């Protein structure tokens, strides 16, 4: 990545979900600067700058290659393996390949649609706030799950999972919405994880430890199947 590209990433406009936090930080800084003193001004400035960085929402260019699943989030792959999709999505109990992406507070937290299709189911579930990098976070943590049916009838699931300090999952799409790969569909505030469940028989092309760029990195080739099960 070039230096100019790096600056563009850092200085990208913030996601609308960050505005209350940014405005709040500015208000604290102004209040401190005009009335209460520097002891409040500098923390307000620091918080505002952090929120501008955390809520940055850079433009992404999905690969022009048809028939692929792209990463739904920035971050690092922490798990790759077969798993049953969340029961609330109604996708059955047959294990399929799952890729788990952990987002630190330094990653872009805007979630993106992994495939073209129609949102057939959205299911939110309350839960705990364990470290999102743990395997049991998939079952125990607060989460919001989406099922997307592609034009060929196959389903992909993507799950927003709250983390240790995350306290708000936002989803901007609705059931029956037509979505396109790379579209923004939500954001998770302050540390989280995003899982993607591939169609049955489709294997991932990524490995544990690999860095993902949401909306750009290819996770799987839908045309390369290995049978009906993971």
Burial class (CB in 10 A: 0-12, 13-18, 19+), 11: exposed
**pLDDT confidence tier of residue 197, bands split at 50, 70 and 90:** very high
Whether residues 28 and 141 share a domain: the answer is no
209 in the same domain as 180: yes
- Report the predicted TM-score, pTM, of the whole model to 2 decimal places: 0.84
Backbone angles phi, psi at 184, to 5 degrees: -75, 135
Report the domain count for the chain.
2
Domain extent for 138: 68-221
Does one domain contain both 43 and 139?
Answer: no
Pick from 195, 148, 138, 190: nearest CA to 169: 190
What pLDDT does residue 115 have? 97
Res 213 pLDDT > 50:
yes
**DSSP 8-state symbol, 15:** P
Task: Please state the rounded mean pLDDT for residues 92-118.
Answer: 93
Instruction: Name every residue whose Cβ is closer than 8 Å to that of residue 115 and which is 6 or more positions away in sequence.
Output: 69, 70, 148, 150, 156, 181, 222
My answer on whether 88 and 157 are in the same domain is: yes
Average pLDDT over all residues of the chain: 85
| 112 and 216 together in one domain | yes
User: Is 144 in the same domain as 209?
Assistant: yes
Residue 200 pLDDT: 92
Tell me, yes or no, whether 76 and 101 share the same domain: yes
Mean pLDDT computed over 94-115: 93
- 5 counts as catalytic: no
**Is residue 203 included in any domain, yes or no?**
yes
Cα torsion at 55, 58, 63, 64 (round to 10°)?
Answer: 130
CATH number at residue 173: 2.70.70
Residue 229 predicted with pLDDT over 60: no
> Does residue 167 carry a pLDDT above 80?
no
Would residue 38 count as lying in a domain?
yes
| Residue 122 predicted with pLDDT over 70 | yes
Please indicate, yes or no, if residue 79 is contained in any of the structural domains. Answer: yes
Whether 73 and 49 map to the same domain: the answer is no
Given the residues 5, 6, 138, 192, select the one marked as catalytic: 192
Note whether residue 142 is domain-resident: yes
Residues listed for the chain: 230
Q: Are residues 49 and 73 in the same domain?
A: no
Gap between the Cα atoms of 223 and 201, Å rounded: 10
- Rounded to an integer, the average pLDDT of 55-71 is 90
**Is the domain of 106 the same as that of 27?**
no
- Bridge pairing between strands 117-125 and 143-149: antiparallel
**Confidence at residue 41, expressed as pLDDT on a 0 to 100 scale:** 86
The verdict on 156 and 197 lying in the same domain is yes
Residue 74 lies in a domain: yes
- Verify that 24 and 85 share a domain, yes or no: no
């Amino acid at each position: 990545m070039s230096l100019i590209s790096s600056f563009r990433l850092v200085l990208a406009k913030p996601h609308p979900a960050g505005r209350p936090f940014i405005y709040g930080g500015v208000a604290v800084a102004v209040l401190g600067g005009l009335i209460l003193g520097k002891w409040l001004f500098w923390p307000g400035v620091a918080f505002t700058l952090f929120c501008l960085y955390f809520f940055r929402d850079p433009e992404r260019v999905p690969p022009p290659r048809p028939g692929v699943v792209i990463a739904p989030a920035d971050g690092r792959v922490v798990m790759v393996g077969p798993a049953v999709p969340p029961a609330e999505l109604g996708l059955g109990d047959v294990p399929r390949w799952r890729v788990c992406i952990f987002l630190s507070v330094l990653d872009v937290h805007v979630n993106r649609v992994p495939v073209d299709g129609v949102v057939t189911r959205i299911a939110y579930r309350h839960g705990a706030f364990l470290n999102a990098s743990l395997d049991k976070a998939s079952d125990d943590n607060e989460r919001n799950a989406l099922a997307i049916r592609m034009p060929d009838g196959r389903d992909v699931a993507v799950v927003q999972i709250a983390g240790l300090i995350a306290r708000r999952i936002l989803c901007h799409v609705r059931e029956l919405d037509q979505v396109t790969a790379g579209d923004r569909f939500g954001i998770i505030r302050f540390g989280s994880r995003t899982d993607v469940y591939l169609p049955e028989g489709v294997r991932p092309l990524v490995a544990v430890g690999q860095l993902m760029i949401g909306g750009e990195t290819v996770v799987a080739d839908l045309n390369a199947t290995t049978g009906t099960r993971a």
